């Protein structure tokens, strides 16, 4: 059918506008974190929320108040899960896929590339984007849980590895997420020749 009635069109417009304004107001309350780079968890949440909004906008059997209640519930669940992730590392790693270390000390970690279905060409491209000419110039290359690449150049001076805490680095089993509690100790400083 192409057309039911003008009242149906009016309802769809009114409900869509009200749901949109509600979401804008709620996102204003929840902050910019909800709009940052998205992980797989964030994508699933966004698709679910979008589906819910579309259903409310075009389904006569769902009232505007029921739709707003559903949207508020979804956003409260997201905020609750975000709060839990910020306070408990294990919960964070259960909900979000951990970052993947694919290069360590200039060496491609072939087993991890296969495990995560990542090609060596993708890694090389990330290294080039970081301004490095060789994999051997990279201390570590990480595919973050939001799909971004982090490349850290090898340093010739003593440095603190605190940004590497929680990453599964070869030869450092105590630094992996499986060996951490909800709070982890910083990794010891490493001297790089």
Nearest to 91 by CA among 79, 101, 81: 81
Q: What is the pTM of this model?
A: 0.53
**Does residue 191 have a pLDDT over 60?**
no
**Does residue 6 have a pLDDT over 60?**
yes
Confidence of residue 13 (pLDDT cuts 50, 70, 90): confident
Q: Answer yes or no: are the C-beta atoms of 192 and 139 closer than 8 Å.
A: yes
Q: Answer yes or no: are the C-beta atoms of 116 and 143 closer than 8 Å.
A: yes
* Pairing verdict, β 100-104 and 107-108: antiparallel
Residues 6+ apart with CB under 8 A from 3: none
Confidence of residue 123 (pLDDT cuts 50, 70, 90): very high
Place of tokens 């075009």: 58
Write the pLDDT tens digit of every residue in 141-159.
Answer: 999 877 889 999 988 666 6
């Amino acid at each position: 059918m192409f057309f039911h009635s003008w009242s149906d069109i009016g309802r769809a417009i009114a409900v869509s506008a009200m749901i949109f304004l509600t979401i804008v107001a709620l996102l204003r309350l929840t902050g910019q974190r909800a709009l940052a780079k998205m992980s797989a968890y964030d994508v699933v949440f966004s698709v679910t929320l979008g589906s819910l909004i579309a259903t409310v906008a075009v389904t006569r059997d769902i009232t505007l108040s029921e739709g707003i209640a559903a949207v508020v519930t979804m956003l409260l669940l997201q905020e609750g899960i975000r709060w839990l992730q910020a306070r408990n590392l294990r919960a964070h790693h259960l909900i979000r896929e951990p970052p993947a270390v694919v290069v360590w000390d200039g060496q491609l970690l072939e087993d991890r590339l296969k495990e995560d279905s990542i090609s060596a060409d993708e890694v090389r491209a990330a290294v080039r984007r970081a301004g490095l000419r060789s994999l051997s110039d990279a201390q570590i290359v990480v595919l973050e849980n939001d799909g971004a690449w982090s490349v850290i150049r090898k340093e010739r001076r003593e440095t603190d590895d605190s940004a590497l805490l929680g990453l599964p680095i070869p030869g450092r089993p105590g630094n992996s997420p499986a060996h951490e509690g909800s709070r982890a100790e910083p990794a010891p400083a490493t001297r790089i020749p």
